[in-house]
Structure 1
Amino acid sequence: MAEGGEVETQTTIAGDQTEKSIDIDPRLIQCPICLEQLRHPKSLPCLHTFCKECLNIYITQEADKFATLFPCPVCRSETVPVDSKEKKENWAKQFPTNNFIIEVSKTNPPKYQQHECDPCKKRNVVNVAATVWWKEYNRFLCDTCLHKVQNAIDDDLTLIEVKSGQKFIPPIATTSIYNYCPKHKKEMDLFCEDHQSVCCSTCIAVTHRRCEEVTTLSEHGDKVRSSNQLQDMRSGLQNVAADMESLIELIKTQTKHLGDGKDDVLKLMTDLRKRIDARLDKLQRDITDEVVTTYKEEKQKRDDMLHKCERMSKGIRTTQALSESNFMDTDDMQMVSVLQRGNMEIKSCKEIITQISKSLTNVEMSLDCDDKLLVDEEALILGRVKVVRSLAEVPIKLPEKQLHSANVKEVAKLCIKTATDVNRCQATGLVYLPNGHIILTDKNNKKVKLFKENGELVDELTLKGKPWDLCMVDNNTVAVAMLNKNLISMIRMSSSKLSIIPGGDIEAGKQCDGITYKDGQFMVSTGYSSNRDIYSVMEGQEVNVLHTPSAKPYYLVYDPTTSDVIVSLHTDTEGDTVLYRLSSDGTTTEMAKVGLLKNGNGVDIDEEGNVYVCGRASNNVVQISCDGKIVRELVTSESVKEPFTISVSDHRFVLSSDASDISNYITIHELY
């Protein structure tokens, strides 16, 4: 192959320049790794130059076993070799030789640096010249200290004379690229307990300065090792690995059974073909197409499931091996990385197992045929393929979600105040997205904000007015009720960006507070207005008032199981209705009176039909089962104060508060 500069052609400097020394900055010809004058200089695409020997050692120690690139030792830019299929030991020589450095080096011969003896310097004895370099421990030694080391250690030592001209290149693997912050290029040696993330000093100063508990990575490592987190992760990995193996075997068995069924049907079809020669070609082609199409469709489904399971199983086995490695007791960074990776894999694996178990079906193919050799066009001569599907029995015990009787615990507390916020936050609207992101409206700061589940801010968008509630229109569109604008703003949401949809505003002409989306139209409440209405509105159509409640309706939610709209009312008068259903025909059904629940605020519904409503004055969150028979205080006043609004996603929900001392935070709770 043609290598990028293995032949080091050295162009001679013309004229009298070869006889003169060029006055240059010594750092220009200094290797950033060994800090000595460059020898056989190789330049990376980012234009940083290194000794070929230093770069080779760096690549072999830093590049992952299966990697096809490596980070530049200086700027951390991802660097791809000319031919990544070659061994990593050959990558360095593929990069072009810096002939300019070679020519400049000719006029600036290397000067050997005076090195002091490291043990003497540690004893505060300075200016003791070193005579050798101890490679294994990257230490410079004088003759006296060398004698002591040789007497104390029986192993062979790699000793290089200081004036030998060789390079003193310390081991590079002791500093992993994962210890450096990719944003600030600093070592990450701090840990934010609030966000459960490893940070550098700049991250702490800029992003986490309001966090309550920040420790060193070493202290967090000791804390993790002294707890059951590692053991719980290992146990979890072991359990899901066993479940995944069972699922893989089941899918393989089903695939084989599916193939056997296909073979049986085709064999029977071939036998019957002998009895019907006149229509054989057409009927055989029709039935074969149907069988093969069914087989391909069902097999493709199982191939996709199998690929997903095997890929997850491979990742789990890798994480299991890493969790048992020796570095878990010594390398805090790697330990935290493996811990977080393992917990994430446990969660993903459980989700995949549940998803596949619910969709995996047995497929039985048979041939419904008539033995009579009839020639009528409508006769069942060769037969018809019959496909019967039934839900597969998966040999894995899946958790039965009965959210109306589940326990609840707080699992995270996220700070939603950002660097540009002027006022205290007031999260008046929340949506907990299926991907774990949380989008919210901050009325006091006139913003819509998008956060990750770990508290990281993804993006924020400043609006020209005060937003109140919001709801999802589709996977990429959010509708925001603008409190003082009498309109609904449409916002496009990508994985990392929020943006106003030009011309997407819907003029309501009435106060917009609570909002939900139903059958192509928006259902809106007017809680702050003197006219307390529940109305529907669509783009280009007039407002249609559906109901006028007796108290302020700040929030409402659409129930897809009944097509009703559930409305909470802000009242604490004994005997008043605080929660009710509004049907499509305009009739209302009371769900709760003031009592356990006072001043109803945010309301949402889970996949089982259970309703969750915030009691702002009663300082609680109340859950009502889908049949209305179970009404319980899910979150009590001991753990919540002035709950504002709520959003449910699967077995978790996120909650905001209007209490001035905690309104800058939202909490995530889990039903288990």
Structure 2
Amino acid sequence: MATSADVKEEPLIEDFADLLTCTICLETFKQPKYLPCLHTFCETCISTYIVTTVKEEKPKGFKCPVCRRHVPIGDSTERPETWAITLPGNHFVVSMIDRRAMKKAEKLCDACSSESICQKAISWCTNCEEAYCNTCEGHHRKYKMARNHKILPIKDINEDTSSPNIFVFVACDEHPDKPIEIYCKDHSKPCCTVCATVHHRKCEQVVTIDKAVAGVKESTNAQELLKKLKEINKQLEVIINTRKKKPKVFEKEIDVVLVEIANLREKLNKKLDELENKISEEVNSTRKHNILRLNEESSELISLKSTFDHWTNLFEACLLQGSEIQCFVKMEEISRKMPNIENDLSKVIQGIRDISVKFEETDIISDTVCFGQLQFNEGKPSLPKLKTVNFHTGKIKVMFTIDITGSYISGIFFNDNIIITDFQTKRIVYHNHTGKQTEVLNIPHSPTDITKVNDQTVAVSSNAQKICIINVQPLTLVKTIDINVPVFGLSFVEDEYVTANNNIIYWLNAQTGAKIKELPTGAYTMFVACSNKNEYIYMNGSNSVKRESAVGKSFQYNHRN
């Protein structure tokens, strides 16, 4: 008959079934070995993996098959075939496998199994952490060294809710054949008696492992660690789910780009058709005009030739058939008219031009290298913070220095990069995470302070009573908000701008710039920073910083210099 303990414990074991399965062979662990990253594999599986993946001439380690973290090998002169043997065994996983087998009445006698004999186990030695059949249990009790070992029936273990306490063997990291028996509080290190004697003999706080682990499951540290692990795991799930959506978003952006390219091609075709029609019309117009001109020249010449032909025939007739007086009169008449007609002929001949035409094409094909360029903007997304920093105990380390001459310099960190406002030169300067200047934006007014609005936008204040809204990548002035109060220091919180100037702090509507409220400080106040609407820190005179909060205690920090 199943007990309540059976019912409660069975799902527990099944919940952790994935911890007992090798991710390489997908079977229950056989001789489980674990890596520094705590991922566990069968000894044969990890050995095969190492041999097949390590190809360097002088390898220094290998990468974990799961997380890809580097696993260094202490004595890398050994052949990779021997590395798996040196890895520590995962006794905890072994104990879980044994518990599951005992719970399902599938546990075989370990002594018989070593002889390749399948015999169902009925008892468990807590000292040796081995299961025995009826025969092997009897033999085990006969030996003097094992005579006082505690042997329990597996049936009783399954009914006992405290059964996890029978699996007490945890190997020492430095001496795998010895159990952990000592805990050094000075080094926060559990170890065996050999390690305690050699490495911790001068330590002041050394206790037995039993004393160190007493009540550990219910301790605050254990609960906080579990809570932290679950919180990080939950945050990672959010990040992973968010990142899984990104390929589809990127695919859509690529599709949009392809459509834009196709549209550009259509526009180019349309433009080329327009240019072709334009040049064709110009050619036809030129042809018509110049053909007409050439025909007019010919007509004028023909007309003049007709005149000369007529005069020639007329004068020849006079010479052959006319009287002397008739010839004289015609000769005088033609001679009088000849200068005019010769002048007309000269004008026509001087105006004659040979016209030729050819097409000189624009080198549009060679000059057109591409339709455009793809611009990849990589920015740090807004993700849950997996690690919190204690600014009270942390240390400051100078990573690099940015040289900017002039006064009234302000700046913010923006997705691991730095944006600086330069009052004197009226510009916004963008630096990457190494301090290298990558972009500059000149603005109409001298900037006094800068604040982050969202992951794409910042706001910059100006003493000209204006707030400039700036897109970050690329740096572009989006719009300018006119303010009816003095502006210098600037902060953005919950769709409101908080600004300081002289001795007053103002709250402004982020959309319109209209004043919501004001707070006199009674001191020289030029800068303000906010974490929410009701909590703000501001410059309170030249040597003082003050924090005000609607909830909680306010305080003021003063400095002599």
Q: Please indicate, yes or no, whether the TM-score normalized by the shorter chain is above 0.5.
A: no
Q: Which has the higher strand share?
A: 1
* TM-score calculated relative to the size of structure 1: 0.25
Q: Which has the higher contact order (CA 8 A, sep 6+)?
A: 1
* TM-score calculated relative to the size of structure 2: 0.29
Larger Rg belongs to: 2
